[in-house]
Chain A
Amino acid sequence: MRAIRFGMRSLARDFRAGELAVLGAALIIAVASVTAIGFLTDRIGQAVALQAAEVLAADLRVSSPRPLDPARMETARKRGLQTARTLSFPSVVFSGDDSVLTAINAVSEGYPLRGQVRIAPALLSEPAIIDGVPARGDVWLDTAVLARLGIDTGAQVEVGASTFTVAAVLTYRPDQTPGFTGLAPALIMNIDDIEATGLLGQGSRVSHAQLFAGSREQIRALAADIAPELPASARLRDRGDAGRELNDAISRAGRFLALASLVSLLLAAVAIAMSARRYAERRLDTAALMKSLGAPQRFVVISSLTQIVVIGIVAGLLGAFVGFGAERALSVVLSGLLRGDLPVPSARPLALGFGTALILLAGFALPSVLRLSTTPPLRVLRRDLSPPPPGAFLTYGAALAALVLLIYWSVRDVTLLVIIVGGTAVTGLVLFLVGRLLITLLSRGRSRVGVAWRYGLANIARRGSDSAIQVVAFGLGLMVLLILTLVRNDLLAGWRATLDTEAPNHFLINIQPDERAGVRDILVSNGLPAPEFVPLVRARMTRVDADAVGDRRFRSERGRRLAGRGANLTYAEQMSASNQLVAGVWWPAGYEGEPQVSVETEAARDMGVDIGNVLTFDIAGVQLTATVTSLREVEWDSFQPNFFMVFSPNSLRDYPKTFIASLKVPDDQRGALLKLVRTHPSVSVIDIEAVLDQVRQIIDKAALAVQSVFVFTLAAGLVVLFAAVQSTLDERRYESALLRTFGARRRTIFAGLAAEFIALGLAAGIFAALGASVVGGLAATQLFNLDYQLDPTLWLLGTLTGVVVVGLSGVLAAHGVVNTPPVRTLRAG
Chain B
Amino acid sequence: MRAENLTKQVNSPEGALTILDNVSFDIDGGGSVAICGPSGAGKSTLLALLAGLDEASSGSVWLDGTELGSLDEDGRAALRARRVGFVFQSFHLIPALTALENVMLPLELDGANDPRQRARDTLAAVGLAERTRHYPNQLSGGEKQRVAIARAFAGKPAVLFADEPTGNLDSATGEKIIDLLFDLNREQQATLVLVTHDEQLASRCDRRIDLAAGRLVPDS
Do residues B111 and A2 form an inter-chain contact, with CB atoms below 8 A?
yes
Chain A residues near B47 (CB, 8 Å)?
Answer: 381
Q: With A and B bound together, what is the CA distance between A828 and B84 in angstroms? A: 27
Q: Which 3 A-B pairs have the closest CB atoms?
A: A294-B81, A13-B96, A296-B74
Chain A residues near B101 (CB, 8 Å)?
Answer: 13
A606 interfacial by beta-carbon distance below 8 Å: no
Contacting A289 at CB < 8 Å: which of B48, B92, B110? B92
Q: With A and B bound together, what is the CA distance between A13 and B99 in angstroms? A: 13
Chain B residues near A296 (CB, 8 Å)?
Answer: 74, 77-78
Q: With A and B bound together, what is the CA distance between A221 and B80 in angstroms? A: 66
A147 interfacial by beta-carbon distance below 8 Å: no
Q: With A and B bound together, what is the CA distance between A286 and B95 in angstroms? A: 9
Closest to B152 in A: A293
Given contacts A2-B108, A6-B108, contact A289 B77 (CB under 8 A): no
Do residues A381 and B163 form an inter-chain contact, with CB atoms below 8 A?
yes
B132 interfacial by beta-carbon distance below 8 Å: no
Do residues B106 and A293 form an inter-chain contact, with CB atoms below 8 A?
yes
Q: With A and B bound together, what is the CA distance between A10 and B108 in angstroms? A: 13
B94 interfacial by beta-carbon distance below 8 Å: yes
Chain B residues near A828 (CB, 8 Å)?
Answer: 137
Chain A residues near B137 (CB, 8 Å)?
Answer: 828
A378 interfacial by beta-carbon distance below 8 Å: yes
Contacting A299 at CB < 8 Å: which of B84, B109, B163? B109
A-B contact pairs, 26 of them (CB 8 A): A10-B96, A10-B97, A13-B101, A19-B96, A286-B94, A291-B73, A292-B53, A292-B80, A292-B86, A293-B80, A293-B81, A294-B80, A294-B84, A295-B77, A295-B109, A296-B78, A299-B109, A376-B53, A376-B54, A377-B53, A377-B73, A378-B48, A378-B53, A381-B53, A381-B88, A381-B163
Do residues A380 and B86 form an inter-chain contact, with CB atoms below 8 A?
yes
B78 to chain A, nearest CB (A): 6
Chain A residues near B96 (CB, 8 Å)?
Answer: 10, 13-14, 16-17, 19
Which of B77, B97, B101, B108 counts the most A-chain CB atoms under 10 A from its CB?
Answer: B77
A448 interfacial by beta-carbon distance below 8 Å: no
Chain B residues near A290 (CB, 8 Å)?
Answer: 105, 109
Do residues B77 and A294 form an inter-chain contact, with CB atoms below 8 A?
yes
A297 interfacial by beta-carbon distance below 8 Å: yes
Q: With A and B bound together, what is the CA distance between A16 and B96 in angstroms? A: 8
Closest to B82 in A: A294
B178 to chain A, nearest CB (A): 20
Chain A 67-81, CB-CB to B under 8 Å as 1, else 0, gives 000000000000000
Name B41-55 residues within 8 Å CB distance of A. 44, 47-48, 51, 53-54
Do residues B95 and A17 form an inter-chain contact, with CB atoms below 8 A?
yes
Q: A292-B80, A296-B74 are in contact. List 7 more A-B contacts (CB 8 A).
A: A2-B108, A285-B92, A293-B109, A294-B84, A294-B110, A295-B77, A295-B109
Do residues A377 and B77 form an inter-chain contact, with CB atoms below 8 A?
yes
Closest to B73 in A: A297
Contacting B86 at CB < 8 Å: which of A16, A293, A376? A293
A747 interfacial by beta-carbon distance below 8 Å: no
Query: What is the interface of chain B, defined by CB distance below 8 A to chain A?
Result: 44, 47-48, 51, 53-54, 73-74, 77-82, 84, 86, 88, 92, 94-97, 101, 105-106, 108-111, 137, 151, 163
Do residues B48 and A291 form an inter-chain contact, with CB atoms below 8 A?
no
Closest to A383 in B: B90
Chain A residues near B79 (CB, 8 Å)?
Answer: 294
Do residues A13 and B82 form an inter-chain contact, with CB atoms below 8 A?
no
Q: With A and B bound together, what is the CA distance between A13 and B47 in angstroms? A: 32
Q: With A and B bound together, what is the CA distance between A6 and B111 in angstroms? A: 12
Closest to B89 in A: A381
Chain A residues near B108 (CB, 8 Å)?
Answer: 2, 6
Name A5-21 residues within 8 Å CB distance of B. 6, 10, 13-14, 16-17, 19
Chain B residues near A376 (CB, 8 Å)?
Answer: 53-54
Categorize the interface residue count of chain A: 20 to 34
Chain A residues near B80 (CB, 8 Å)?
Answer: 292-294
Chain B residues near A10 (CB, 8 Å)?
Answer: 96-97
Do residues A292 and B74 form an inter-chain contact, with CB atoms below 8 A?
no
A555 interfacial by beta-carbon distance below 8 Å: no
Do residues B74 and A382 form an inter-chain contact, with CB atoms below 8 A?
no
Chain B residues near A380 (CB, 8 Å)?
Answer: 53, 86, 88, 92
Contacting B105 at CB < 8 Å: which of A293, A298, A382? A293
Chain B residues near A381 (CB, 8 Å)?
Answer: 44, 47-48, 53, 88, 163
Chain B residues near A289 (CB, 8 Å)?
Answer: 92, 94
Which of A285, A290, A294 counts the most B-chain CB atoms under 10 A from its CB?
Answer: A294
Which of B47, B73, B78, B84 counts the most A-chain CB atoms under 10 A from its CB?
Answer: B73
B156 to chain A, nearest CB (A): 13
Q: With A and B bound together, what is the CA distance between A19 and B95 in angstroms? A: 11
Name A362-393 residues within 8 Å CB distance of B. 376-378, 380-382
Chain A 756-770, CB-CB to B under 8 Å as 1, else 0, gives 000000000000000
Q: With A and B bound together, what is the CA distance between A298 and B75 in angstroms? A: 12
Q: With A and B bound together, what is the CA distance between A312 and B101 in angstroms? A: 25
Closest to A10 in B: B96
Do residues B109 and A294 form an inter-chain contact, with CB atoms below 8 A?
yes
Q: With A and B bound together, what is the CA distance between A377 and B161 in angstroms? A: 14
Which of B44, B88, B96, B108 counts the most A-chain CB atoms under 10 A from its CB?
Answer: B96
Given contacts A19-B96, A293-B86, contact A382 B109 (CB under 8 A): no
B12 to chain A, nearest CB (A): 14
Closest to A377 in B: B53
Chain A residues near B73 (CB, 8 Å)?
Answer: 291, 297, 377
Given contacts A286-B94, A293-B106, A299-B109, contact A378 B77 (CB under 8 A): no
Given contacts A17-B96, A286-B94, contact A291 B77 (CB under 8 A): yes
Q: With A and B bound together, what is the CA distance between A13 and B97 in angstroms? A: 7
Chain B residues near A285 (CB, 8 Å)?
Answer: 92
Do residues B92 and A295 form an inter-chain contact, with CB atoms below 8 A?
no
B81 to chain A, nearest CB (A): 2
Q: With A and B bound together, what is the CA distance between A19 and B137 in angstroms? A: 16
Do residues A378 and B54 form an inter-chain contact, with CB atoms below 8 A?
yes
Closest to B85 in A: A293
Closest to B51 in A: A292
Chain A 50-78, CB-CB to B under 8 Å as 1, else 0, gives 00000000000000000000000000000
Q: With A and B bound together, what is the CA distance between A10 and B44 in angstroms? A: 30
Q: With A and B bound together, what is the CA distance between A481 and B111 in angstroms? A: 52
Closest to A3 in B: B109
Q: With A and B bound together, what is the CA distance between A380 and B84 in angstroms? A: 15
Chain B residues near A14 (CB, 8 Å)?
Answer: 96
Given contacts A376-B54, A378-B54, A381-B53, contact A294 B106 (CB under 8 A): yes
Do residues B88 and A297 form an inter-chain contact, with CB atoms below 8 A?
no
Closest to B74 in A: A296
Closest to B54 in A: A378
Chain A residues near B110 (CB, 8 Å)?
Answer: 294
Chain A residues near B109 (CB, 8 Å)?
Answer: 2, 290, 293-295, 299
